[in-house]
Amino acid sequence: MSTDAVTMDKIVSLCKRRGFVFQSSEIYGGLASTYDYGHYGVQLKSNVKAEWWRSLVQRRDDIVALDAAILMHPRTWEASGHLEGFTDPLVQCLGECKRRWREDHLREAAAEEGRDPGEELRCPECGGELSQPRNFNLMFETHMGPVADAGSRVYLRPETAQGIFVNFRNVLQFARKKPPFGIAQVGKSFRNEITPGNFVFRTREFEQMEMEFFVPPDEAEQWFSYWVGERRAWYERLGLRPDHLRVRAHDPDELSHYSSATSDLEYLFPIGWSELEGIANRGDYDLRQHAEFSREKLEYVDSSSGERYVPHVIEPAAGADRATLAFMVDAYDEESIEGRERVVLRFHPRLAPVKVAVLPLVNKDGQPERAREIYEDLRERMPTEFDTGGSIGKRYRRQDEIGTPWGITIDHQTMEDGTVTLRDRDSLEQSRLAIEGLGVEMERRLAAEWRSPKLG
């Protein structure tokens, strides 16, 4: 297994230093476990989402897109089981610190440390006695309209999936699809997590990338295996090292209330192996529940054979923030070159926030003007940056830290023969290229196959 210099602290500090991610409401002291994305973070996360759309919708005939509202009819959450079952067992310290903990996490930790998971638990912070567990619902409540009473109560959705189920009939009608087919959606979800933490790994507001794939009941198992394989391959194609990814099937007592089988794709984060994405076999649970609560028929009827059935659902559910964090962690590298240290994010070029940096070697002799012309041509084709500030070494290091795969330097030779120096972020090789045709050449490089240099 390839070794890593990365730690979560290094990622947090790089994110702040280079403007990827900041603490939210920082000037007021910050809001716990809530983050804002800056310029490079926005572009990186957008690229992750764009690759997800490209792979799940653009390159397939059998999946269509949806963008449902965050606020949904409150009956949705009764039908889905979230009002009843989307809870965590909460215990509170009755000693000094009064902190709240998830009972299941404390029992898991006890088992991992070789202790009896059924033992009487004590507060991990101050050793105090703990209260009896109480089920705590993770949904955020708010009110619609001017009066805050029970009749106006609505919820911020805790998963995007339900927006897909309640639109099943619309899509079936208007997209003219028949099972197996899928509906894909990307959007914000909210959970009042008891123990958020580890930077953007677990927050209370986050973005999900979910797809519900509706299949004939007898094909569910085969499609479940298919999607586990597809989703793993997606992460690997975008550069995650295969030895840092694994599939873990849930034990029966871990399954969500709707699921008959779930496998997590786990990534070896600096905090250890943790869930990156869940792939669940939801059976016909959701469509049947919504059909019962809404009294609408939610089934597929084959117009030629007359056969009717409630499709089963296979759901690959990913987190955009968690995936972005995994790509950053995997890309992070440190090396020493001729006695100088550099930090470099070895992103897949398609994920890199900036693809090319155009850098005049000196700020005179017509070089900045020529560089600006090249920059203005390239930025029409791909995200490009123009940087004139500081020594060339300092500018390269800045680009390395945001993961820019290519640097183009304009020097005195450029002014003589119309060529530029192209520097490769990973190999540090420098080659000369003609300005004529440069845009096409950079597009070719961006579209080419890529393999993480960390794989050797």
Residues in contact with ligand GAP by the rule CB under 6 A: 159, 161, 191, 193, 202-203, 206, 208, 210, 275, 277-278, 315, 317-319, 321-322
Phi-psi region at 142: left, alpha or beta (left = phi > 0; alpha = psi -120 to 50): beta
Residue with tokens 């390839």: 2
Counting Cα atoms < 13 Å in the Cβ hemisphere of 428 gives 10
User: Which residue's CB is nearer to ligand GAP, number 93 or number 161?
Assistant: 161
Q: Please, what is the minimum distance in Å from the beta carbon of residue 255 to ligand GAP? A: 11
Closest separation in Å from C-beta 72 to ligand GAP: 14
Residue in 413, 411, 402, 408 with CA at minimum distance from that of residue 438 = 408
Please identify the residue of the shown chain whose CB is closest to the bound ligand GAP. 319
35, with CB counted inside 10 A (0-12, 13-18, 19+), is buried
Tell me the one-letter amino acid at 181: F
Exposure class string for 434-449: b at 16+ Cβ within 10 A, else e: ebeebbeebeebbeee
Is the CB of 210 or the CB of 411 nearer to ligand GAP? 210
Judged by CB, which is closer to ligand GAP: 92, or 160? 160
Give CA–CA dist 255/278, Å, rounded.
11
Look up residue 217 and give its DSSP letter: G
**321 versus 385: smaller Cβ distance to ligand GAP:** 321
Comparison of 208 and 384: residue with beta carbon closer to ligand GAP: 208
Does residue 51 contact residue 44 with C-beta atoms inside 8 Å? no
Identity of the residue, 219 or 275, whose beta carbon is nearer to ligand GAP in the bound complex: 275
Instruction: Give yes or no for a contact between 311 and 284, defined as CB atoms under 8 angstroms apart.
Output: yes
Q: How far apart are CB 193 and ligand GAP at their closest, in Å? A: 5
CB of 216 to ligand GAP, least distance (A): 22
Quote the least distance from Cβ 185 to ligand GAP, whole Å: 10
How many C-alpha atoms does 301 have within 13 Å on its Cβ side?
6
Residue 106 CB, nearest distance to ligand GAP (Å)? 19
